[in-house]
Each structure stands twice: as structure tokens, then as C-alpha cells.
Amino acid sequence: MTDDHDAICTNFAVVRQFDDLDRVVAIRDTISALNHSDVTRADVDRGLETPLTTREAAALFTCLQKNGAATQSATDERGFWAYTFEVDPLEVDRVLTQQAAVIASDGRSPQTGKDEVVEFVATLPGGFEPTSARVRSIPDIASTIRNQVFNADSSVRIANPYFDPSLELVSDLASLPRRGVETQLLTRETADEEGDTRTTLNKMWDLIDEDNRDNFEVRDLYRWDESQGSQAFATHAKIVIVDCRVCYVGSANLTDTSLSTNFEFGVVVEGDIVEDAATVFDEVFEYSYPVDLPI
Amino acid sequence: MADSEMKRGLAQVMYRFGPESLFDYGRRGLSMKVSRWETNKISSLDANYVAEQIATHASSFRNDDEDPWVDLTVDDVDFRRPNRVVGSLYPLTMYCQNRSCHRVVSKKEPSHFVYTNGECPECSDELRQLAFVLVHDCGNMMSINPQPCSNPDHGYDHIYLNKQNINDPLSWHFYCGECGDFCGNMSKRCTKCHKERVYFRPIASNSVYYSQGDVLVNLPIDQRYSDDIEYGESWARILMAAHLGDLDDVVEEEGKTYEELGRMTTDERDAKRREKQIEDLKEEVGAEQVEKMIESGVDIEDVFDVAEDTIKGSTREEVVEENRERVKLPSQRGGDSDVDQAYSTLSHELFTYLRSTQGYEGNLDATDGMERQPTPLSLDGLLEQEDFLESNPEAEVYPEKLQKVNIASAWVVDNLPLLNYTFGFTRDRPERSRTDLQPFPHPRGEDSTPVYVDQTPSEAIVLQVDRSAIIEWLDEKGALRGVERPDTDDESDLKEWFLENVDTNELRDHYSPIEDDLTREVYTLLHSMSHALMRTASGQCGLDSNSISEYVMPSVPAIFLYASSTEHFSLGGMHTLFKTRIHPWVDETIADVQQCVYDPVCEHEDGACHACLHMSEVACESANGNLDRRYLVGGDRGRIPAFWESGYV
């Protein structure tokens, strides 16, 4: 930690993450009022009306650390945002006052939502050689979903009817609940003993440590009409919604062929409209059958 | 029997459906043998290096001194990619499933069973395959067939299987139903090597077939020039010059790629082709005849196109000569006859490192066949992206966090080309030293040894270890006695020092001890780092620990940790780790290596065991050799300094 109590901040992670001046001031006052020097995200949350998001917590502790107001004193397997930091209250006051001043001078007010962004994505068929630059440059679905997933902060909603029980795909998805991201998965036909879906879900379950299994919820939407001898209804949607911020909707299942060799097409939407997708997902998810894992 | 199809992924085919392997065809309740693979020729790989790797693998088998493995070179190998597997019924002995019958029907060809209609000729009940084969460690597999009855009038016409003790197949035997004559049991002498009697194995037993292969990072070389590159010393020195920064201006100003710089001149190429043409002619008409023709002044007509392009700007000879003056490899100094091997190993290491961290220096859009180039993203580059910092604020502390474990630079690499290859198989035992390595039969009946490959994109994290920190640590450990210290403030001088002091020839065979002290110290340090980071990476990114592999590059020095999946798709576990989990990854790694559940024994013995640093054989590049936790955290009563700091950042 620095001894220079007049030093100018060199890092502005708080400015980048927060646009509400009052919130930064409240954080500063909360930390100053603590009667112990070891601080966690939970300590800060107790003084706030709305708890810190994971990103806000990471930005706060990064900013304090980079500006010499805090040092890491204990780790946590959940991630940096859950670490414990030893802070110097005077230094915290200096750093957060400067961060608040920058926010004030920017004249920023809390944002109510960003413009919507829409982008097409595709998996192009195996062996296919695009002739136009426009087709060559279309983002591929696999990378898009991957980027969405590893940028997830708090929640991921996935609707997907069919899986490959490929260990790699399964383990990548299982990493979400493992790192504290609330993961909801809507699929179908989990009762099929021979089906890939059951194998996939059980593998995911095995890969998630016991402490984080509460972050993983699966539901099944599939009804067979005995009288008609046919399917009554089922989920066939392919959706990935991350943090209510960004949403992929398209034709691709989470299978090797869909993500590498089939022709598949989809769209990625960012902005307030994603909340509508999340609302629809949530209601359908609620209507579906809970699946107890392991199956 | 009618032809039928089933679909399997290529990765599964490579491991489970190799030529001469057995598989269950569940749909028809039959067992089959893979009779052949239909394949395409593959050329876009670093064939020299892969051939050397195969030769190294082959040297650990019992028959390493026999053809085709002895003195195996790239000219002996034919790289092919399977696209269809053809199987036929095997084994060819069936018996009636009616317990009161057990009549045996044995044929020489699968097609001969068509006439049986799958029915017992005695009672018309269903015929079933005898689900056992005989395998020997020489590579032979035999069907269990009855012998004919000693009475020539009976022959094979009345053979039955005695399964009286159903739980003890060893007691099962064939007999003649007419006269009771014994007609063989569940064992026989090996028909290939005749050395010993071989006993039955269930057809589903692992010991029937062990596929022999490996996975390695294999970057494509620009096909336009790959045949014209002067491999060996020349290519290695081009890459060394690039690594040392000596080619920065050439690449920048002349727009040349390493492949373009590595090409032979027109005269050299023509001379080389003429030489090969004369060799071919000697094989065709005899060496004496050709010598006579040349002596008598007969003009042997060219049958190849003379290259029309000339190479402008900096030449290969200039770059090579300059680098030759600058860098002396350890194998050169020691008069090592294997200096060519050192060039090959170093070329592969540097080419992989350069392209995986700097990307392709040429124009990707204008170069066909280079879409499999890796696309690196450096940590420095990520930290310049506003949206990345917004979603991962803690990333601003990543450089300091990585510096705690002396990692100077880091990249996450997409589209890293992996080569999954299989070069043969063994039977009966898993131990290489006790089995004969069998080559695959060539699918086109040619003389060369087929090696089957599958190229898949993967992802990796590349960690360049702080060179000056290694020098300081070696010095503190007393490992630099008699070795000149480089200028630790000069990165180019540091790079040169590692090239000149790490002997890559010592690392070619990972099953042999490293004799050069300095090379052993550097490799053990990097290898221990790699394992410590690999063991905790799986928990952080969700990849199974066996799905991450390493490629340690002591000449750079750097560590490659890559997802060794042979699936053709990856959702990005390594990206997740790199972008969001650096803090817990590094902190957990530091905490993990501090102690082992078997301390103090582990610490006093080797500083590495299955409970702390060892990984599975598939993840480790050198059979868990040259590992020592104490190199990272210090130990041996202060004699081994700690390479890592243990305090928090």
C-alpha cells in the first residue's frame, strides 16, 4: 500500500464500471465505517441498497489494489471478486473520492439501457468455400456462443433440444455453474435412458463440484400424447441468453455437427429487448418439468 | 451378407477402429474386423518432424531394429486421412446356440457363411460367433478354428463344441460328433512367430488391440513453398533469426514470410531436382548404366519445370550466414553427429511459438490453405480493449499476478492446429518394451508405411517464462558454473543464451535421462511449472485434467497448455481460463505446490509424486520425468532456491 496520501490515481476501473456517483460515495463511506481492515464484497454489500454485481466488485478491488489502497489477503476459489483484501481506510477514501470526482466531471447519470445491436451468425457447411467477403466474414456460431458464455457474469439461460455427450462440450458448459454463474438449461426427453441428453446432463453434474450444484437447474419440456400416439408438445428452441444482456437465437443445436459442419443460421441481439427473451424463457422454464440430477 | 453402414466420428475411428482391430456390430449382433480404411493423401503438415516423432516412438518397442521402424525417415512414410472404414465378419468360427447341439461351422471367408443362412446345418437353430480370438505380443491375431477329425471320412463335417464347464472357457474344446476325436481347444501355437502357445481372449478385451499414436501441435507450412524450403540448418536459422528479432525489418519492409525466406534459389532447386532425377534413373536402368551415360556426355533430359520466379531482396544465404555467426547450438559445439535432429526439433519449436504468438506474418486472405493458422490474442492486446476491461475489471492485475510465477507474457490462441496421428498397433500387452509394433497394411498396397492423421483445431494458452528470472534462479542455484551469464537487461541476448545453452537433442527421447546439467535444470523448472499450472487449470476452466496437454519449449523458454481434444469443436475452456480465471488459477497453483500429502517423504525424495505434480500419461509429454516441486517453492534445506514468490499480489 502507498504512503503517499495525496497521490493521484493511475487506475480508473471504478470510473469504467460505475456511472452512479452516489453509489461510489456509498461504497467509500461503507468501507470507511468498517471497524476491521480485512474487507470482502459481502462487507461492502451490507452498506448498499443494491448489492454489488460481480463486475462491480472486481472493478472496485482492482481499482483499490492498483492505486495502492488494498492488498490481497485471502483467496477464494470462486474468483477474484470473492477475495479478501486488507485496506487502508485513508487510502480508500482518497481513491474513491477521486473516482467519484471523475464520474461527476463526466456529468454521467445512470444509463437506462444501451442501443440494441443485431448481428447474424452462421455455421457454414463442411467443405464449402465462400466466394464473397460478406459470407467469409460472418461470425461463426460456435465462437459467438463461446464468447457469450465466457463473458457471463451472473446468469446463463440455455434452451437446447439435442446434445452430443462429447466430454469437451459438456465440461465447457459445466464450467459456468462451477464459477458461480446461475445456469438454467431447458431441454427435452431426459427420460430416454439411451439418449445422449441424459448422458450429457449426468456428465455435467459429475463435473460440477458439490458446492456449486445449486447453480445448475435443468427442466424438461416434452409431452407424449398416449391417446394419439404422437408428441403433444416439446421444446425445439435454440437460445442462449447471457446476463439478460445478449441473446443468441438460431437453428444450431449444441452438437458437434451443428457447430462445425452443418449449415446453421442465427442472430445475436444485444440490448433491452433481451429482457423480453429472458421473460419468455423464464415462463416456459417454469411451465416445464424439473429434472432431478443425476438422472 | 449385405453391406451395412454405421457412422462414427473421426476421432473415435482413429482410436477404436484402426486397421486389424475388432469391433462389435451391435445392430446385427456380430463381431467384425476392420479389413481396410479408405483414405486420402495428406501433405499439409510438418512431415519431417512427425516422422521423427514416430521414429522416436518406435524406438521404445521390442522390434525397433526391424523394418519398417529401423532408420525410419520421412521418405518411408505416407500420411493419409481415413474417410471410410470397411469391416468384415471375424472371427470365422460359429457354433449352434442350441445347448443340446453346439454344432460348429468354421469358414475361411466371411462370404461363405451366406450359404448357411445363419442356421445350424444340424438342427436349424441360430448360429452364433465364438466370441474369442487368440492374440500374441508379436502382433498376430488368430481365429479359434477346429482341426479336422483324424478320420478323413469325417473331416470337418461333424465338429461340435464342448462347453460343459460353461464358466471355464479354458476347458472348452472341439470334438468329432461321429467318433469323439479331439479336434482342438481354445489355444494354439502362434502361426506368425511360432514361439509359444497362445491362449484365448474375449473379442471385447482391450488386449486384442492397442492403437499406437499421439497428438501434437502441427502448424501448416505455406503449400506454395513447402517443397522448395531448404529444411535442416537453413530453415532452423531462418526461424532463429526471426525469434531473435533479426528479421523484423525484412518481414516488415519486404513483406516476406518465413517460408518465402526459407526457399532454395532457382539454381539450387534445379540442381536438387536433377540429382533426384538421376537417382530415379539409376533405380530404373541401373547405376552403372547411368554413370556411363554421364561420362559419355549424354544429356539427360530434364523432365521438370524450371522455376521461373527469382527471389528478390534478402536472401536465405545472407540470413543463414548471419545467424550462423551469431548462434552456436550446443550440438554443434560438442561435435554431435545428430545436429540435424537439433535443427529439426528447434525448427518445430520456434515455428510453433512464433506463429502461435505473433500470428501469420503474411497476407492470410491471399494465401490458400493457410486458414488453419493459429490466431493469437496477447494479454497486452486484451488489456487495450475497453469492452474486455469493462467485463473483466480484474484483468488489469493479471500482469502482476502472472509475474508472481515469473510469466512475462501470455497469449490465448484460437484455431491451434493439432495433429492426431496413429502409426501402428500392438496386441496382448500394453508395455512397449514387451511387444512388437505392427505397421498398418498400406491401403493401396504400396511399399511405404501408412500413418493415419486427423487435423483438428484446438485452443491453447501460451506462457513465455521470464528469461532473466530463470538466469537469476540458475545462478542462485549454482547451475551457471562455467557458463557465461547473458546480459539480463537485453532480451535479444537472453534469447540467444537459451538457444546456445539448452540442448534440444537431450529432450528428443523423453524416456531417457537428460545428461546435460544445464538443460536438465531448465527443463525440470519449466516442466514442473507446466504440471503445477495444468493440475489446477482443469478445475478452473472445466476441462477434464486429461483433456489438457503440454508442450514445453525450453529453448524459448515457454509453456504451451492446449486442449488436447480430438473433437472438431471446442467451446473455449482455455479462453474462459485466460480471460476470467487468472487470479484463482495462479493463487491456487502457488498454494497447491507448497505441500504434498506425502510430505516430508515427497519433499525429501524427488519433490514430485502422483499426489502433487504427476499427471496422466496422455497429458504429460515426458512420462512424468524431470519434475520437482522444490524448484518452484524452494527446499532441500535451502539448497534449492524458490523460483516463485509465495506472498500475495
Q: Do B604 and B255 contact (CB within 8 A), yes or no?
A: no
The pLDDT, as a whole number, for residue B253 is: 79
Q: Do B586 and B558 contact (CB within 8 A), yes or no?
A: no
Q: What percent of chain A has pLDDT over 90?
A: 45
Test mutation, A54, A146, A169, chain B, max B CBs within 10 A: A146
Spatial separation of the C-alpha atoms in residues A103 and B284, rounded to whole Å: 84
Question: Residue A143: which pLDDT band, with cuts at 50, 70 and 90?
Answer: confident
> A76–B584: do the CB atoms touch at under 8 Å?
yes
Residue B45 has pLDDT above 90, yes or no: no
What is the CA angle B430-B434-B436, rounded to 5? 90
3-state helix, strand and coil shares in percent for chain A, rounded to the nearest 5 = 40, 20, 40
Nearest to B17 by CA among B422, B450, B444: B422
The string of pLDDT tens digits covering residues B593-618 is: 998 999 899 988 889 999 999 998 77
- Name beta bridge partners: B459: none
Spatial separation of the C-alpha atoms in residues B410 and B561, rounded to whole Å: 11
B448–chain A nearest CA distance, Å: 29
Determine phi and psi for B33, rounding to 5 degrees: -110, 140
Which residues in A lie closer than 8 A to residue B547 (C-beta atoms)? 167-168, 171
Q: What is the pTM of this model?
A: 0.73
Residue B493 has pLDDT above 90, yes or no: yes
> B543–A168: do the CB atoms touch at under 8 Å?
yes
Residue A274 has pLDDT above 50, yes or no: yes
Spatial separation of the C-alpha atoms in residues B592 and A258, rounded to whole Å: 39
Q: How many helices (H) and strands (E) does chain B have?
A: 20, 19
- Three-state secondary structure call for residue B489: coil
- Give mean pLDDT, residues B518-522: 96
- Give mean pLDDT, residues B55-64: 90
Test mutation, A145, A151, A173, chain B, max B CBs within 10 A: A151
Q: Do B215 and B548 contact (CB within 8 A), yes or no?
A: no
B88–chain A nearest CA distance, Å: 27
- The pLDDT mean for chain A works out to 86
Q: Which of A176-185, A208-217, B567-576 has the lowest mean pLDDT?
A: B567-576
Q: How many CA atoms lie within 13 A of B339 on its CB side?
A: 15
Q: Do B453 and B81 contact (CB within 8 A), yes or no?
A: yes
Which residues in A lie closer than 8 A to residue B565 (C-beta atoms)? 167-168
A227–chain B nearest CA distance, Å: 31
- Give mean pLDDT, residues B3-15: 70
Q: What percent of chain B has pLDDT over 90?
A: 48
Question: Residue B28: which pLDDT band, with cuts at 50, 70 and 90?
Answer: low
Q: Which of B121-135, B332-346, B571-585, B599-613 has the lowest mean pLDDT?
A: B332-346
Higher-confidence residue: B473 or A6?
B473
The string of pLDDT tens digits covering residues A40-70 is: 999 999 999 889 988 899 999 999 999 999 9
Question: Residue A267: which pLDDT band, with cuts at 50, 70 and 90?
Answer: very high
How many angstroms separate the Cα of B285 from the Cα of each of A120, B277, B281?
64, 12, 6
Question: Residue B243: which pLDDT band, with cuts at 50, 70 and 90?
Answer: very high
The string of pLDDT tens digits covering residues B100-110 is: 899 999 988 88
Question: Which one of B397, B542, B581 has the shortest CB-CB distance to A65?
Answer: B397
The pLDDT, as a whole number, for residue B252 is: 80
Spatial separation of the C-alpha atoms in residues A180 and B471, rounded to whole Å: 40
Q: Dmax over Cα atoms in chain A, in whole Å? A: 80
Residue A167 has pLDDT above 60, yes or no: no
Spatial separation of the C-alpha atoms in residues B612 and B594, rounded to whole Å: 10
What does DSSP assign to residue A52? P
- Name beta bridge partners: A70: A87
Residue B244 has pLDDT above 70, yes or no: yes
Q: Do B21 and B34 contact (CB within 8 A), yes or no?
A: yes
Q: How many CA atoms lie within 13 A of B369 on its CB side?
A: 12
The string of pLDDT tens digits covering residues B349-370 is: 999 999 999 998 887 766 666 6
Query: How many interchain CB pairs under 8 A, A with B?
Result: 129
Residue B7 has pLDDT above 70, yes or no: no
Which stretches of B571-629 are DSSP H helices?
A: 573-580, 582-594, 601-605
Spatial separation of the C-alpha atoms in residues B460 and B413, rounded to whole Å: 5
Give chain B's contact residues with A (Cβ, < 8 Å): 9, 386, 389-394, 396-397, 414, 539-544, 547, 563, 565, 567-573, 575-576, 579-581, 583-584, 587-588, 591, 648-649
Please give the single-letter amino acid code of residue B438: Q
Spatial separation of the C-alpha atoms in residues A67 and A241, rounded to whole Å: 35
What does DSSP assign to residue B437? P
Test mutation, B40, B81, B370, B391, chain A, max A CBs within 10 A: B391
Distance separating the N- and C-terminal Cα atoms of chain A = 52
Spatial separation of the C-alpha atoms in residues A241 and B62, rounded to whole Å: 56
The pLDDT, as a whole number, for residue B367 is: 66
Q: Cβ-count burial of B372 within 10 angstroms (0-12 exposed, 13-18 middle, 19+ buried)?
A: middle
Residue A3 has pLDDT above 60, yes or no: no
Nearest to B348 by CA among B492, B498, B216, B527: B216
The string of pLDDT tens digits covering residues B121-149 is: 889 999 999 989 999 999 999 999 999 99
Spatial separation of the C-alpha atoms in residues B195 and B33, rounded to whole Å: 25
Higher-confidence residue: B509 or A269?
A269
* Closest chain A CA to residue B458: A168
How many angstroms separate the Cα of B194 from the Cα of each of B21, B173, B333?
22, 21, 49
Q: How many residues comprise chain B?
A: 649
- Name beta bridge partners: B161: B174
